[in-house]
Structure 1
Amino acid sequence: MAQVAGKVAEAQRRERETRQQRDSPAVDRGPYEGDPEDLADQWAARHAEWRRVAALMDAQDWLVYSPERDVQGSTWARERDAQREGALARRAAWEMERQDACDELKAQVWLSADVSRRLRAIAARTGVEPEQVLAQLADRVRMDDDGALTVDTFTPR
């Protein structure tokens, strides 16, 4: 119980300090410090959580805090873990998407009117967009030993 009371006092002090820092001019902050608003909010949340734990221990006459007996705290911990896992998965997917985007080539191609008409006709017959026909064509291109580009016959899909 004494340790929890110490944590409540520490969180209260840190909440007060971070609120003061948040309200101070930005020139006093170092270049590597985080967002003072976010830090102040984090300490406010920790302070509230430590007060909740202290009140729970007092109401239940616990001498020692036990997370297994704290139903609300355990539920919130599971929710935080699920949110963290979801955020990590979204971050990994975003990073993979960025890597894929770096590997992609986007090109703007100007075709003559005759070639453009033929490409549009091929696309219309196969039911795909002209850009998809060109992408499929590029997928199938090979370079011979002499540097010549060749494409085997194929049907756009």
Structure 2
Amino acid sequence: MKSSEIDGAGSSGTIVVLNGPNLNLLGQRQPDIYGSDSLADVERLCQEAAGPCGFTIDARQSNHEGVLIDWIHEVRQTCAGLVINPGGLTHTSVALRDALVTVEAPVVEVHISNIHKREEFRHRSYVSGISEGVICGLGVYGYVAAVGFLTGRS
């Protein structure tokens, strides 16, 4: 499906960018895998990608599964799109998946590393099957690509 075919693409609104456990350490934790950009850098890149299209970014990070689920419930009917990097919860959380199913806008799953080139347990994602798209292995540019898709620019 092209982004222009998604309800709301090309209009204004808020794109929510959620980051899960350990992503607050981006730029410090395993830079050989995740790079040197910080989470603040990622948020800035997302805002730069969304702004010219009339969208705003609401970026949040939590190390707690329940907090992420509460945030998803909070925005599920109001966001124009949702970008999520669930971190390690990707491979373990049915509850997070069940919350994401309730989002009425497109959801894009993002991973900085290529999870398919890593340990076997990382190859399984509970989120991919309910996402409009999955971007992995492109570093922090994956967030920009996801925002571009949701704004209709990609």
- Greater length-normalized contact order (CA 8 Å, ≥ 6 residues apart): 2
**If each structure's helix is expressed as a fraction of its own residues, which one has the higher value?**
1
Provide the TM-score with structure 2 as the length reference: 0.22
Say which one has the larger Rg. 1
More strand by share: 2
